[in-house]
């Protein structure tokens, strides 16, 4: 009985000092190839997203779109299957938010994920022929 108690206390002590594996985080800069062109996505810790195709950058905390100040925001659902990123545009003058598209993704490792985009609130097919592998930059 005494040995069992000592083993149990030792086990609990080891578990207390063992750190769980880090969960995948979308935060950072990512790059993939879409229709033969490099396509980049950046997700910052404050919830803003920036997209880049070639030399064109679009999004972030504040940018001009048709004379109006807009922010591109994102929300991640790691519990959904596949994981989902909802990209929205927010009018800074009114605070009005509009869903642009949804990205479905599956982490392949800490530095890569496979993703596909769907219009508005549809669930993207991440195993379809249009899916892209993005690598952390």
Q: Are 45 and 27 in contact (CB under 8 A)?
A: yes
Q: Is residue 15 part of a domain?
A: no
- What residues contact 84, with CB distance under 8 A and at least 6 apart? 76, 77, 102, 103, 104, 105, 123, 124
Does 82 fall in a domain? Answer: yes
In a domain, 51, yes or no: yes
pLDDT at 116: 95
Which residue's structure tokens are 């993207």? 124
Question: Is the Cα torsion angle 106, 108, 113, 117 positive or negative in sign?
Answer: negative
> What is the four-CA torsion angle of 104, 106, 112, 114, rounded to 10 degrees?
-50
- pLDDT tens, 31-62? 999 889 999 999 999 999 999 998 899 999 99
User: Is 85 inside any structural domain?
Assistant: yes
CATH code for position 73 = 2.40.128
pLDDT at 58: 93
HEC string of 97-136? EEEEEEEEEEEEECCEEEEEEEECCCCCCCCCCCCEEEEE
**1 in any annotated domain:** no
pLDDT band at 2 (very low <50, low <70, confident <90, very high): low
Residue 131: inside a domain, yes or no? yes
pTM of the shown model: 0.80
**DSSP classification of residue 3:** H
- What are 70-92's pLDDT values in tens digits? 999 999 999 999 999 999 999 99
Average pLDDT, the chain: 87
pLDDT for residue 8 is more than 50: no
Q: Please report whether residue 11 resides in a domain.
A: no
Number of domains in the chain: 1
Domain hosting 53: range is 27-136
Question: Is residue 4 situated within a structural domain?
Answer: no
């Amino acid at each position: 009985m005494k040995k069992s108690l000592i083993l149990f206390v030792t086990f609990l002590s080891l578990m207390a000092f063992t750190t769980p594996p880090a969960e995948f985080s979308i935060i950072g800069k990512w790059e993939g190839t879409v229709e033969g062109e490099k396509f980049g996505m950046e997700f910052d810790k404050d919830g803003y997203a920036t997209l880049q195709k070639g030399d064109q950058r679009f999004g972030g905390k504040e940018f001009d779109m048709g004379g109006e100040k807009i922010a591109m925001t994102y929300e991640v659902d790691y519990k959904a299957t596949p994981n989902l990123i909802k990209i929205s545009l927010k009018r800074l003058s009114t605070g009005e938010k509009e869903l642009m598209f949804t990205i479905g993704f599956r982490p392949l490792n800490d530095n890569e994920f496979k993703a596909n985009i769907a219009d508005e609130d549809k669930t993207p097919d991440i195993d379809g022929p249009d899916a892209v592998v993005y690598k952390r930059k």
